[in-house]
Amino acid sequence: MRLWILLFLSFGAGGFAQELTILTNDNPPIQFLDKDFRVLGGVGVQIVQAIQKSIGDTSAIQGIPWARGYIMALRQKNVMLFSTTRTPEREASFQWVGPLFESRSILVASRKSDLILTSLDDAKALRAIGIVRDDVRGQILKSLGFTNLEETTNYLNNIRKHVAGRTDAFTSTNVIMAAQIRQAGYDPKDFRVLFTYSRNPVYLAFSRSTPVEIVGKWAAGLAAIKADGTLKALLQDIPIE
């Protein structure tokens, strides 16, 4: 009885007592935002909305630049950031709900390049590798001892800097590579994967100060959409294999 009363006080009869700030960035095909950071859709958005429907949450999904959202999730209460790659370096920074799917971190180059990479040491010898600020792909390379990283503010600039010859390669994943190259105005067929350097699961990341009851409710909601086949159906057209 006491546990039931506590849960009732935490969530109320009709949903959450405390508003959750849900943040996402422009990361096609997982999340799409317009130039004003309005959320347009994407499978990541659909997954979150399916969980919300399952648990009765009505919090708005807000679009935001990745680096700003990441800092908010680190520092503020009741913040959830998606879709977020879970790594050992990030483990203690968030409460995690997932996995949603797995992604492979890759180094990509134009087909005009004659580069061949067979090891991380080969990659460390490159002149410059383009990364996005506070993005997990760059964080992983930093943890592996890379010092030849050229940072930019978003994925599109990262690709365009490479095309302009300012980097030898840039970071991406198997899931987002083709969509982001198209968004930058280029043909994915004109690029190739040089090297896969990490495999990591993708999660919903909740700030550490978010009440565990809220995180547990979202975990139960994710379990529900996995069990009824909703998650599998949403992911069927995403290149996650």
pLDDT at 107 over 50: yes
The SS3 call for residue 171 is strand
pLDDT at 2 over 50: no
- The letter for the amino acid at 177 is M
Tell me what the mean pLDDT of segment 79-106 comes to. 95
Same domain, 82 and 135: no
Same domain, 207 and 163: no
Same domain, 220 and 158: no
Same domain, 50 and 132: no
pLDDT of residue 41: 94
3-state helix, strand, coil in the chain (%, to 5): 35, 30, 35
pLDDT of residue 39: 95
Cβ neighbours for 127, distance < 8 A, ≥ 6 positions apart: 148, 167, 168
Peptide bond just before 88 cis, omega within 30 deg: no
Same domain, 116 and 179: yes
Domain of 49, in residue numbers: 2-102+202-235
pLDDT of residue 9: 41
Ranges 11-15, 38-42, 194-198: which has the least confidence? 11-15
Strand partners, 196: 106
| Count of structural domains, the chain | 2
Strand partners, 97: 204
Query: What's the pTM value of the predicted model, to 2 decimals?
Result: 0.75
Note the helical H segments in the chain. 2-11, 43-55, 66-75, 120-124, 136-143, 155-163, 177-183, 212-227, 230-235
Same domain, 9 and 83: yes
Scored b (16 or more CB within 10 A) or e, 150-188 reads bebebbbebbbbbbeeebbbbbbbbbbbbbbbebbebee
Short-list 33, 82, 77, 23, CA closest to 222: 82
pLDDT of residue 80: 98
- Model confidence at 232, in pLDDT bands (50, 70, 90)? very high
Same domain, 52 and 131: no
Is 240 a domain residue?
A: no
Note the helical H segments in 164-201. 177-183
What Å distances lie between residue 217 and 24, 55, 88, 127, CA to CA? Answer: 20, 7, 24, 47
Is 241 a domain residue?
A: no
Is 218 a domain residue?
A: yes
Cβ neighbours for 28, distance < 8 A, ≥ 6 positions apart: 42, 176, 179, 180, 183
pLDDT at 186 over 50: yes
- Describe the crossing of helices 212-227 and 43-55 by its angle, rounded to 10 degrees: 110
| % of the chain exceeding 70 in pLDDT | 91
Domain of 98, CATH number, reads 3.40.190.10
Same domain, 115 and 150: yes
Is 82 a domain residue?
A: yes
Residue with tokens 């039931």: 4
Same domain, 186 and 214: no
Q: Quick one: tokens of 130?
A: 């383009």
Same domain, 82 and 107: no
Same domain, 20 and 96: yes
Is 210 a domain residue?
A: yes
Same domain, 73 and 96: yes
